[in-house]
Structure 1
Amino acid sequence: MSPDSSPSAAFVPPFYADDAFVGTPEQFEEYEAPGADGLQRRARDLLKERMGTATAPVSTSFACGTVGVQADQTHYSDGFGLFLPLRQGVAVAARYAETTQITFAGHEETWTDEAEAPPSWLVAMRRILQELLADHQVEVAVVSTVPGICRDGYLAALAVAVMRVVRALDVSTAIDLNSVQSLRDDLVPLLAGEIGTALDCPYSTGYLLATFAGPEPAFTLVDTATREHLPVETEARTALRWAVLDPGAPEPRPVEFHRQRQAQARDALRRLRENGFSGLTSFRELEHRDLDDAIAVLPEALCPVVRHLVTENRRVQKHVAAMRRSDWQMIGALLLMSHASQRDEWEGTSTAADRIVAEAESRTHDGLYGACMTGRSGAVIVAGRPNAFERELRQLSHEVADAHGHAPHILAP
């Protein structure tokens, strides 16, 4: 078992790659994710290994990871998101101490408040602890099998696991961590705000809401405007095979890109309210039939942004409908349309993700239904027929390796 130690470690949070990824496509069906109890034991062991034994009792917690099937538009404007819960997750162990110290499996370092230039994922965790614990000091250890390439889902799982371990420590907090209403109205916006501040770019409440929904729903539909989440009743999780592919070379857009897109979304909403769409607060409220009229009153530079945000929200609704009626080909088509919109309208995809999606699209007659980039770090989600999935995943991996020098890592969600 070896943690991820790639050159991209400063960008992606640390995780146990051997436990997260399938070794080869042939092992896809046999993969078993480490359970929550086992990961919590590892976190407890890591805490004692790095920080020694102590008289203070140790509390542990776990939260599952998530990936967005179609969800990343909610980082920039409230709307609908469709999420796939992962079998992989994040475990946290914590105990009271004289000084707050944090350590992650996969990094040898143990951080304190004096650490210089800490990575964004550490900053997010530290800020959340400060908000929840106030004057209390803790020692914390983190173990993850959520790949760093799924950074948005990783950070949501980390935040929820931290909240749960604070609750287990049984300390008074500013937010009632046992109240569903407080979690929805107070905690979720707080966590999203702290993560966004740490990343220095917008971060959706959708990933947090989907994480709170847990691993049981096959898929989770989230409305970030109302902060509600609903399970999607569908056979799509078992009737299809799903995989998340890590191209192995993250090509993240700079934080300025995400801040610019958020500013453009806000500017477009303001202009639309001033030109016949009074009361519009997010693009989830703009009907698809009104899109052409909306585009007509906007500057050209804002039109692609609005087209993506409106059509992606609409695709979420279509995707849920397709799942409920078992229309697998439509699911694949919606994945491909989502990627095309992210690539051409939003200009937010990576070259590596584009290559994998193009290869998957070339195999839609052979067993793969579709694919699209998921998250903002370049991972790709792929869906296909069970009886052909392993074969086509193997061929896809070989083609990508032949063309680009290395095969993508495979996550079996």
Structure 2
Amino acid sequence: MKGDKLQHGNQHWVSRQAQSLRDAQRRVEGKDRLDSDSAIELAVHQLNDVFGESDALIATSYRYGVIGYFADHVIFMPGFALFSCSKAGMAVAIRAGATDRSRIVNWPAGSEETFSLGAEDAVRTDLDSWAVCIENLAAPIDGLPSTFDISIVSAIPIEDETSFVAAFGVALSDALQGFVDEDLDISDNTIASAFEPAVGFQAAPVYVTAVRGTLADMFALVDSEKCELVNFDVVGEMAVGYIQIPGQPGLDASFVEKRRRDAGACLLRIQERRPSLPSLAHLYHKDLQNIEKSLPRKLRYAVNYLVKENQRVQRAVTAARKGDWQLFGALLFMSNSALTSDWGLQSKGGAFISEMVKEKTTEGLVGARISGDGRHVYVLGQPFSVPVQMDDIRKSYKDHFGTQPRTELL
């Protein structure tokens, strides 16, 4: 009888394992994800279904999101950032409005907003991030319709704010081109300016540059100062998971502004001794010991974190090119530690997930990247390991904190 129970239990375990592998394969192959054509088709259908049929021209665009491995430090200084192209993207369908106010609908949330392009709405703070982008991008352009009906279909998590808004800004600028004859040539900086009302501070245009230029299945090194990008191949196939941290607030504007101010003060102090230094990005790890001695203690954290993070980008590029994912993962963990201990970001959930991923590096995971606002974590690893291990992390997180994070495969 005991043997029968053991055999039955083992069969049940094998069945569960097989189901997990089947689920992992389906998720890795993207069978639960809309492709670009299907997303555009759904966006057009949603536009007509929610706002009614119309003979007006419908302009569409689709853009993939990006995954920033080492990117958020360039909000505070010009430097280098490292991205890969996400498999999750966003479709936008837009037509001239049929009413005196613009209307927007978002899938899968199903939320609807109405707003007008003009000064009376420009100071509103309750508009969602996509509506703010429209206000910033469309209002200054001559020759556009006075109102729009807009449909968004996005697989990019809206909580992944920088990627979501950058993808929307680029897709929107592409679609707006369909309403005017001349080349709009909307710059990365112009699109990035739409971030400020959405995220509470002026973001660097590096995410926009990455969305515009990062090729599928490739990594991209971005020079944020020049808004230039170089794509490169990596050795080995990696999958990326997304874990949203429940209840984690976004960055407070005062947090960002203090660190911007301190980074600027560091540069000015250093330039007193090295007038030819154009930015902190031109410093190296070997320079830090002497430079830190010349700075007040309260400023040393800024130059220490920013210079080391920028140097980690170069090492990560070399590791990815060679397929040295063990080193790449180690650099991610080092970055997470510096983000919380040196830079002062508070994210208990992010730190917990990062440690769990570190413990699972023998089970196919490579590393974890806590976002610059602490609201989510990217998990990098072998394609068949990431979905299964994220399920385990989600359960462990709930056991520890009492809330269950949302996970997705990007």
> Post-superposition shift, 1:387?
5.8
Which amino acid in the other structure matches residue 119 of structure 1?
L
Residue 231 of structure 1 deviates from its aligned partner by 0.9
**What secondary structure sits across from 1:69 in the alignment?**
strand
1:36 to 1:295, Cα distance in 2 relative to 1, 3 A: same
Structure 2 partner of 1:339: 336
**Counterpart-to-counterpart distance in 2, 1:133 and 1:353:** 45
Shift of 1:390: 4.5
Identity in percent: 24
Q: CA deviation at 1:332?
A: 0.9
In the other structure, the counterpart of 2:255 is: 257
Over 3 Å counting, the alpha-carbon distance change for 1:410 and 1:373 in structure 2 is same
Describe the shift of the 1:107–1:134 C-alpha distance in structure 2 as closer, same or farther (beyond 3 A). Answer: farther
What is the aligned partner in structure 2 of residue 143 from structure 1? 153
Distance 2:386 2:44 in 1: 37
1:294/1:217 Cα in 2 relative to 1: closer, same or farther (>3 Å)?
farther
Q: How far apart are residue 100 of structure 1 and its match?
A: 4.8
SS in 2 for 1:284: helix
1:81–1:222 CA contact under 8 A, matched in 2: yes
Select the residue among 142, 154, 168 that pairs with 2:164.
154
Distance change (3 Å), C-alpha of 1:161 and 1:323: same
Count the aligned residue pairs.
Answer: 378
Instruction: Report whether the alignment pairs 1:119 with 2:127.
Output: yes
What are the equivalent positions in structure 2 for 1:260-339 lying under 5 Å apart? 260-274=258-272, 276-339=273-336
RCO greater where, 1 or 2, for CA within 8 Å and sep 6 or more? 1
Contact 1:400-1:407 within 8 A present in 2 as well: yes
* Residue 110 (str. 1) matches residue 116 (str. 2): no
Cα distance in 2 between the residues matched to 1:24 and 1:150: 26
Q: How does 1:114-263 map to 2 (within 5 A)?
A: 117-121=125-129, 122-133=131-142, 136-137=145-146, 138-172=148-182, 176-177=183-184, 182=185, 187-236=187-236, 238=237, 240-263=238-261
Shift of 1:330: 0.2
Unaligned runs of 5+ in 1: 1-22
Is the Cα contact below 8 Å between 1:61 and 1:162 reproduced in 2?
A: yes
Report which stretch shifted further, 360-369 or 346-355: 360-369
Q: 1:405 to 1:282 in 2, by over 3 A?
A: same
Cα shift at 1:124: 2.6
Paired amino acid for 2:50: R
The equivalent of 2:11 in structure 1 is: none
Matched residue type, 2:138? L
Map residues 356-395 of structure 1 onto 2, 5 A cutoff. Answer: 356-376=353-373, 378-386=375-383, 388-395=385-392
Corresponding residue for residue 13 of structure 1: none
- Is the contact between residue 144 and residue 180 of structure 2 (CA under 8 Å) also seen in structure 1? no
CA distance in 1, matches of 2:361, 2:221: 26
Q: CA separation in 2, counterparts of 1:295 and 1:111?
A: 52
Asked whether the equivalents of residues 188 and 209 of structure 2 are also in contact (C-alpha less than 8 Å), the reply is: yes
Q: After the TM superposition, which of the residue ranges 389-398 and 143-152 deviates more from structure 2?
A: 389-398
Per the alignment, do residues 168 and 29 of structure 1 end up closer, same or farther by CA in structure 2, a change over 3 Å counting? farther
**Cα drift, residue 242 of structure 1:** 2.4
Please give the per-residue CA displacement for 1:346-370, whole angstroms capped at 9, x wherever unaligned: 1124221111112112223443222
SS of corresponding position for 1:252: coil
TM-score normalised by structure 2 residue count: 0.85
* Residues 26, 296 of structure 1: alpha-carbon distance in 2 compared, 3 angstrom cutoff: farther
Rounded to whole Å, the distance in 2 between the matches of 1:386 and 1:111 is 41
Structure 2 residues without counterparts, runs of 5 or longer: 1-18
Asked if 1 retains the 8 angstrom alpha-carbon contact of 2:379 and 2:386, the reply is no
Deviates more, 1:358-367 or 1:68-77: 358-367
For the pair shown, the structure with the greater C-alpha radius of gyration is 2
Q: Deviations for 1:51-93, whole angstroms, at most 9, x for unmatched residues? A: 2222311111111111211100011111111112111111111
1:131-167 C-alpha deviation (Å, 9 max, x unpaired): 3456632222222110012110001000000011011
Correspondence 1:68 to 2:68: yes
1:176-233 Cα deviation digits (max 9, x unpaired): 34xxxx55xxx11111123225433121111001100144242111111111111122
Please tell me the residue identity of whatever aligns with 2:23. Answer: Q
Contact kept, 8 Å, 2:243 with 2:405, in 1: the verdict is: yes
Amino acid at match of 2:300: C
What displacement does 1:45 show? Answer: 2.0
RMSD: 2.3
The equivalent residue for 1:402 is: 399
Of 338-347 and 47-56, deviating more is 47-56
Question: Is the counterpart of residue 57 in structure 1 residue 57 in structure 2?
Answer: yes
C-alpha displacement at 1:388, in angstroms?
4.4
Using the size of structure 1 for normalisation, the TM-score is 0.85
